[in-house]
């Protein structure tokens, strides 16, 4: 018996190893009387989960995010007792037709009565060069505007009038077509260099090139002389409206869309947001100007425009000129961009000098566009192509403010209703920062000691957009108490009177006026 027990004990280790091997190969053949082991569940592989989620997103087109409660909107600020900021409303672009008639006059009067009851101070009207001086030089037809201004005066509203020396119809939001005067178009057929031109030779007929400001190519007159004659005619024709204080401000159109900028991002040339746009200096007059500047600098070889700046819909880092460390910051790049921006400043200087002469004693203003896309990059490419020399290491708006100060003009800036976070959610690739841009421009103007007004860049009917406008109009805790001196709402349309839109707008007007409202969000 003792020997048998020893032999069994010697064999036990081998038997045990055999049983374990069989168990690993065939779990189903485990002895039924053995209690099953508890197996701890394995933690999911995080990398595998992320990969699967990525596949799901690509297959469904949906972002699978964890369900979280939406953040509570911030409490609303009480603007009761704050400075009074007048509110104007832009009238429809085609409110006066080419035939000199007020479009849908009865409906317009009814809408203006509602706006007056809502507390609006006045309206803004575009006086289109293509309507007034349409057929022959220095033959002006102001009949339609006389009828419109009479309606506005009877309703005891104020007037902001825009000297619109550009065409209407080629930009976002344009719902009518008003070309440049016929006689100007005829000149352009034989001399297309009167228009801004891009690298491919495409002409932009929206407005005249600044290269002909001092060139007698418009039937014996220069471009600035044509603008001055138009403004002087308006001042004489509507003298009583100036004397009675009905016309509170003249906004002088200085470029594309009536704004001080090059037409660098024209939709009719294929541009789509957020493209960087293209330089617009290839007409022979601006090219001659560039050659002179290069020779004066002592570098005749710089008399050329960049050949690596991409196209209308490029991104900055896909170009050799605008990428980080690109040619925009080279010796040549700085020379070219300084020249390009100086042409813009010189144009503003010349036209504003004549505007001050034509409208002596009246308030004048200039609109500057809010080009907020690619603002978070080093080069600020979209601003550079538009003529604002504003890379991350230079303030491109202070020189503009100084020119406006020289002529006693106010600065009207756009996009005050936009939020950077909203832009990031919709177009994260645009690297936009409208809030940073607005802050820079407003402070550049205030530091120069000029007045600042603003308008919204896109249609706005919601409380969040109005609240953002209010915050920019009356900055919190500003030690100097600075604020906007006016706001113009874009634009009068039937949508403004639908549903809750009009009550929201009326509430906004009260707060801009410094009045109390009783439904502030806590």
Is 132 in contact with 141 (CB distance < 8 Å)? yes
* 259 classed as catalytic: yes
Cross-strand pairs, 131: none
DSSP character at residue 518: S
Q: Is 193 annotated as a binding residue?
A: no
Which H or E element spans position 250? Answer: strand 247-252
Q: Is 367 annotated as a binding residue?
A: yes
Q: Is 58 annotated as a binding residue?
A: no
Whole-number Å distance between alpha carbons of 412 and 490? 13
Q: Is 166 annotated as a binding residue?
A: yes
Whole-number Å distance between alpha carbons of 364 and 249? 6
Q: Is 469 annotated as a binding residue?
A: no
323 φ, ψ to 5°? Answer: -65, 165
Q: How many residues are listed for the chain in this entry?
A: 522
Whether cis (ω within 30° of 0) applies to the bond prior to 383 is no
202: helix, strand or coil:
coil
Least Cα distance to 93 among 491, 495, 499, 496 occurs for 491
Q: Is 174 annotated as a binding residue?
A: yes
Is 96 in contact with 162 (CB distance < 8 Å)? no
251, 315, 383, 455: which is the annotated catalytic residue? 455
Alpha helix (H) residue ranges in 26-170: 46-60, 105-117, 129-132, 143-154
3-state secondary structure 255-271: CHHHECCCCCCCHHHCC
Alpha helix (H) residue ranges in 171-319: 182-190, 223-237, 239-243, 284-297
Least Cα distance to 96 among 124, 129, 131, 122 occurs for 131
251, 259, 315, 435: which is the annotated catalytic residue? 259
Q: Is 401 annotated as a binding residue?
A: no
Whole-number Å distance between alpha carbons of 196 and 207? 8
DSSP character at residue 77: P
Whole-number Å distance between alpha carbons of 238 and 102? 17
* 455 classed as catalytic: yes
Is 269 in contact with 204 (CB distance < 8 Å)? yes
Taking the CB of residue 41, how many other CB atoms lie within 10 A of it?
5
Question: At a CB cut-off of 8 Å and minimum separation 6, what does 306 contact?
Answer: 279, 321, 327, 333, 336
Q: Is 222 annotated as a binding residue?
A: no
Whole-number Å distance between alpha carbons of 337 and 394? 12
Whole-number Å distance between alpha carbons of 453 and 412? 5
SS3 content of the chain, % helix, strand, coil (to 5): 45, 10, 45
- Beta-strand relationship, 486-489 and 87-90: parallel
Q: Is 372 annotated as a binding residue?
A: yes
Please report, in range form, the residues annotated as the binding site for substrate.
Answer: 126, 166, 174, 367, 372, 414, 456-457, 491
Which positions are catalytic?
Answer: 259, 455
| Binding site per annotation, positions | 126, 166, 174, 367, 372, 414, 456-457, 491
């Amino acid at each position: 018996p003792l020997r048998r027990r020893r032999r069994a004990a010697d064999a036990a280790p081998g038997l045990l190893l055999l049983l374990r091997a069989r168990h690993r190969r065939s779990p189903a053949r485990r002895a039924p009387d053995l209690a099953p082991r508890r197996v701890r569940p394995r933690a999911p592989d995080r990398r595998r989960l992320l990969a699967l989620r990525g596949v799901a997103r690509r297959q469904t087109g949906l972002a699978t995010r964890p369900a979280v409660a939406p953040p509570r909107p911030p409490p609303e600020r009480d603007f009761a007792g704050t400075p009074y900021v007048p509110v104007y409303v832009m009238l429809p672009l085609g409110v006066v037709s080419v035939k000199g008639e007020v479009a849908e006059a009865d409906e317009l009067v009814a809408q203006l009565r509602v706006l007056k009851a809502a507390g609006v101070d006045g309206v803004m009207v575009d006086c289109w060069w293509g309507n007034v001086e349409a057929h022959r030089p220095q033959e002006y037809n102001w009949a339609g505007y006389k009828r419109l201004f009479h309606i506005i005066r009877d309703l005891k509203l104020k007037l902001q009038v825009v000297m619109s020396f550009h065409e209407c119809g080629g930009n976002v939001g344009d719902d009518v077509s008003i070309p440049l005067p016929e006689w100007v178009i005829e000149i352009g057929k034989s001399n297309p260099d009167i228009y801004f031109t891009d690298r491919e030779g495409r002409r932009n007929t929206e407005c005249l090139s600044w290269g002909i400001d001092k060139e007698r190519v418009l039937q014996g007159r220069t471009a600035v002389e044509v603008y001055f004659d138009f403004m002087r005619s308006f001042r004489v024709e509507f003298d009583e409206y100036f004397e009675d204080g009905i016309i509170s401000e003249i906004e002088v159109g200085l470029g594309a869309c009536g704004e001080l900028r090059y037409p660098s991002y024209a939709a009719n040339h294929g541009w789509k947001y957020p493209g960087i746009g293209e330089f617009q200096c290839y007409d022979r007059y601006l090219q001659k100007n560039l050659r002179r500047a290069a020779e004066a600098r002592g570098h005749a070889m710089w008399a050329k425009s960049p050949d690596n700046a991409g196209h209308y819909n490029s991104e900055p880092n896909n170009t050799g000129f605008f990428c980080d460390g690109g040619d925009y910051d080279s010796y040549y790049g700085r020379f070219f961009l300084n020249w390009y921006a100086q042409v813009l400043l010189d144009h503003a200087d010349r036209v504003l000098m004549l505007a001050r002469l034509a409208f002596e004693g009246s308030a004048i203003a200039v609109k500057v566009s809010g080009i907020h896309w690619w603002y978070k990059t080093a080069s600020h490419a979209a601003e550079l192509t538009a003529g604002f020399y504003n890379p991350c290491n230079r303030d491109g708006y202070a020189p503009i403010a100084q020119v406006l100060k020289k002529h006693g003009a106010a600065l009207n800036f756009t996009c005050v209703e936009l939020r950077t976070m909203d832009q990031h959610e919709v177009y994260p690739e645009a690297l936009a920062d409208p809030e940073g841009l607005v802050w820079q421009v407003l402070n550049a103007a205030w530091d120069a000691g000029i007045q600042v007004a603003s308008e919204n860049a896109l249609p706005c009917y919601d409380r969040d957009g109005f609240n953002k406008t209010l915050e920019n109009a009356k900055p919190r805790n500003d030690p100097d108490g600075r604020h906007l001196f006016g706001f113009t709402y874009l634009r009068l349309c039937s949508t403004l009177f639908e549903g809750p839109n009009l009550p929201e707008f009326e509430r906004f007007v009260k707060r801009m006026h410094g009045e109390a409202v009783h439904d502030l969000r806590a």
